[in-house]
Chains A and B, each alone.
Chain A
């Protein structure tokens, strides 16, 4: 077996044909992952014991002739902002250096119930805040495709392990592009499902009205399998949607002939030339498959980043108030009063980007500024959402770039927060509207850097999104 290129179907075939056992696969995956991790720093923690125990359960089921589950024996990595019972969960922060969660996130329970084998926890920007994975307190992650470049962020580790082959699939989280942008930078598939499609119980909260959990994989089918496994109502998360989860595989093999695709004109100005070329080559593949392509307009796009950085930081300032040095997390050693304990624990425990966002969020919510910033941004969010609703009256899906440029060099944007924020221009809009969106590979630049094409559909139309992506992949689109 070549561990670095395995798919879920290949794992399951190999297990059923007894070419390897789940324990053998997990042992090899852990060995390979630990041997390769020095190159990228994509894993923060390996969970050998837990992985081998999960694999042994799969082997016992195989021996008993029982079903092993949709992810039976599949090596998985989980972003380190998703809690795992008794397994260190740091959120990439010094604040949670020794945090051992007392429970599992719903997505972790569902992955393991379906036979998934969690190899370890993936590195990320601190509390998922960043676009380059340079904000982790445990060191940056390198892009496995080009080691002098960033893997994107904030789920940089989750993208890197899939691209590097040290996991078959992984889970990330996306608030403004944190799944799609690293997927595009590392050349893998990354899916941000509809808001509420996947329970966030056990996802350490960043911006609750925008946080999503979703999969990374090397094929479209593998992301569909993971989403199928983790999606659906969870009454421990009141924001999880009541809508039934369709069988994504029922429609994925169907033709996309006659589907109407829109290219939003606002998304094609200001692209790096090669990025634009690759996206248009991808669109050609879809045209050949019989899709009808037209130009559409999402007129409020240019206001999305400003609205996003008000809304997300406001939510950050509220959500991160729980870190106070009392119940969990780092506690300042030099504080005699409760007030100083709060202030110093937070001052010492949080990194620069987290503090920057807490400050901005606190400011925009402070007395006298609420209407000018927060309320204004909420209204703009409504306008952006209406833009999408209008577009989806004309088309079934939108095709856009994921990022204006491919993976940038480590250190290139680290001293300029606005330049870093602007790199999320094409992903933030879908996050604000809560629609499903995904990044699929569409070839590489002359330098060999991957480019990602974004597919967006209306709320809960993941089935259409997967069908388009799958047919595109089958037609050779990944190397368009």
Chain B
């Protein structure tokens, strides 16, 4: 599977990732070789095999639910403590909606 630089730009857009021109060039090459390697999976016939999303162990449907009791959440100040920009108890972002 060969990935073009155009493909890389499109995927970077989906991933919300700014890449430099050298990075785009580099990832086109590297991702192409990785995808070529991955194509190895096509040698395997997986007809009738169930997909496995994660390791699961037998337990009742609600076994992993905790009791619905009140717990103290993070305070507003703690939740905002690592925000690069915050004010008035909110995270600040550039204006999204024009008046």
Interface contact B44-A378, CB-CB below 8 Å: no
Residues of A within 8 Å of B93, CB to CB, are 326, 338, 341
Residues of A within 8 Å of B64, CB to CB, are 235, 238-239, 242
Interface contact B63-A328, CB-CB below 8 Å: no
**Complex Cα spacing A235 to B15, Å:** 32
Residues of A within 8 Å of B35, CB to CB, are 360, 363
Q: Which of A329, A352, A378 has the most CB of B within 10 A?
A: A378
Tell me the number of A-to-B contacts counted with CB atoms below 8 Å.
Answer: 162
Give the interface SS of chain B, mostly helix, strand, loop or mixed.
loop
Residues of B within 8 Å of A446, CB to CB, are none
**Complex Cα spacing A166 to B41, Å:** 43
Interface size on B, residues (CB 8 A): 53
Interface string of B41-63 (1 = CB under 8 A from A): 11110100111111101010001
Interface size range of chain A in the complex = 35 or more
Q: Out of A196, A359, A376, A377, name the residue touching B17 (CB < 8 Å).
A: A359
A67 within 8 A of B: no
Interface contact B74-A355, CB-CB below 8 Å: no
**Complex Cα spacing A241 to B63, Å:** 10
Residues of B within 8 Å of A321, CB to CB, are 16
Interface contact B54-A235, CB-CB below 8 Å: no
Interface contact A417-B34, CB-CB below 8 Å: yes
**Complex Cα spacing A380 to B94, Å:** 44
Interface contact B51-A359, CB-CB below 8 Å: no
Residues of B within 8 A of A (CB): 3, 7-8, 11-12, 14-20, 23, 27, 30-31, 33-35, 37-44, 46, 49-55, 57, 59, 63-66, 74, 78-79, 81-85, 91, 93-94, 96
For the complex of A and B, list the 7 residue pairs with the smallest distance between their C-beta atoms, beginning with the closest: A347-B18, A434-B55, A378-B51, A331-B84, A209-B54, A328-B82, A235-B66
- Contacts A235-B66, A243-B57, A325-B84 aside, 12 further interface pairs with beta carbons under 8 A come to A239-B54, A300-B44, A305-B37, A306-B39, A306-B41, A310-B41, A317-B15, A324-B16, A326-B91, A340-B18, A346-B15, A373-B38
9 contacts between A and B (CB under 8 A): A100-B82, A102-B74, A317-B15, A326-B84, A328-B83, A329-B82, A340-B94, A359-B17, A382-B51
